Amino acid sequence: MQEFLSLRAFSGNQDDLVAFLESNFPRQTRVLNPRLAARIPESKSVEIRVPLNSHAFQEINGFIESKRNQNIDGYKYVTTTVMRKYSESDLQSAEILLLTIRSHFEPSGEECGTIYETLCNECNWGRQVSDLILDLRRVPQHKDISETIAWVEWVVSSKFVRTFAENKLTGAEFRPIFEFKNPTKQSKEWHQLRVTGKAGELAETTKLGRDPFSPSQVSWRCPLGHAVATQFLSEIYLHRNAWDGSDIAITGALFGQGRNLLRPAPLIIISQRMYRVLQEAGLKGFSYEIAHLV
């Protein structure tokens, strides 16, 4: 597995960082908006990608850390993503994997008439209390799994449902979806994925944080303890005893700072068996990371 950091820096309040990246890493630093930046230099934004275990990362970390130590505006929040790349044999030897849905669409179910009960006004954790109603013309037609911008509405194709049943996979039920334009009409092609399998809570070994630079806390926590807005600075670790062994399961912990239509969502964990079934069937719309049972 290789871990990479993607970091973006913006002129205006991160001028020093933009200049630091461009002078120290000229080959790796890319201007994201070259035409606009040529006309209005103050609008320039740049991106760099470096391996986390590299000397380049250490240098960037040192730069950000010193800015943070001096409490300089513009460095408390920096825009980062941590990416993990795996070989096929890494993925095939993992006991469990984190599944991330890559395709998103709108409008959300709530905008189409799906009813929710909001259970927490701080993090917007909610419970869906009606069948899912969606504008089905907006579902990405060539993906077998996608989600709305609400984060918690997962739509799968009938091929996904058939593959799941034929292989006797466990941990999910499939609910009907009704068409926004005609709410008595149930879709034949699309179904709502409701995961019933339980993966338990994250083990403490899982590293959470706003970004990989030190010191870094999580971005936000629901004061009532339901949800956390964070990046995952390590792979996901789960307690072996708390995972119910389902081929697909969700964590008890919820992630994301919900508001309005957005609801905090659990992580989706799948078994190696399900990974192989999805790969062999050629189903599309997600990516994987390795997760661990400890």
- Considering beta carbons, is residue 26 or 223 the nearer one to Zn ion? 223
Residue 107 and residue 5: Cα distance in Å, rounded? 31
3-state secondary structure 1-27: CEEEEEEEEECCCCHHHHHHHHHHCCC
- Considering beta carbons, is residue 86 or 220 the nearer one to Zn ion? 220
The least CB distance from residue 126 to Zn ion, in Å, is 10
The least CB distance from residue 104 to Zn ion, in Å, is 23
The least CB distance from residue 218 to Zn ion, in Å, is 14
Query: Whose CA is closest to 84, among 110, 42, 51?
Result: 51
The least CB distance from residue 212 to Zn ion, in Å, is 26
Residue 243 and residue 200: Cα distance in Å, rounded? 6
- Considering beta carbons, is residue 222 or 277 the nearer one to Zn ion? 222
Q: Are the C-beta atoms of 205 and 237 separated by less than 8 Å?
A: yes
Contact positions toward Zn ion, by CB under 5 A? Answer: 120, 122-123, 125, 222, 224, 226
The least CB distance from residue 161 to Zn ion, in Å, is 32
Identify the burial level of 76 via C-beta atoms within 10 angstroms of its C-beta, where 0-12 means exposed, 13-18 middle and 19 or more buried: exposed
Q: Are the C-beta atoms of 218 and 209 separated by less than 8 Å?
A: yes
- Considering beta carbons, is residue 124 or 146 the nearer one to Zn ion? 124
């926004």: which residue's tokens? 180
Identify the burial level of 123 via C-beta atoms within 10 angstroms of its C-beta, where 0-12 means exposed, 13-18 middle and 19 or more buried: buried
- Considering beta carbons, is residue 174 or 220 the nearer one to Zn ion? 220
What tokens does 175 get?
């609910």
The least CB distance from residue 223 to Zn ion, in Å, is 7
Query: Whose CA is closest to 60, among 117, 128, 123, 5?
Result: 5
- Considering beta carbons, is residue 44 or 263 the nearer one to Zn ion? 263
Residue 265: DSSP 8-state: B
The least CB distance from residue 168 to Zn ion, in Å, is 36
* Chain centre to alpha carbon of residue 150: 12
- Considering beta carbons, is residue 89 or 260 the nearer one to Zn ion? 260
- Considering beta carbons, is residue 6 or 121 the nearer one to Zn ion? 121
Residue 53 and residue 42: Cα distance in Å, rounded? 32
The least CB distance from residue 259 to Zn ion, in Å, is 11
Residue 157 and residue 140: Cα distance in Å, rounded? 10
Q: What is the CA radius of gyration of the chain?
A: 21
CA distances, 114 to each of 122, 127, 153 (Å):
21, 11, 10
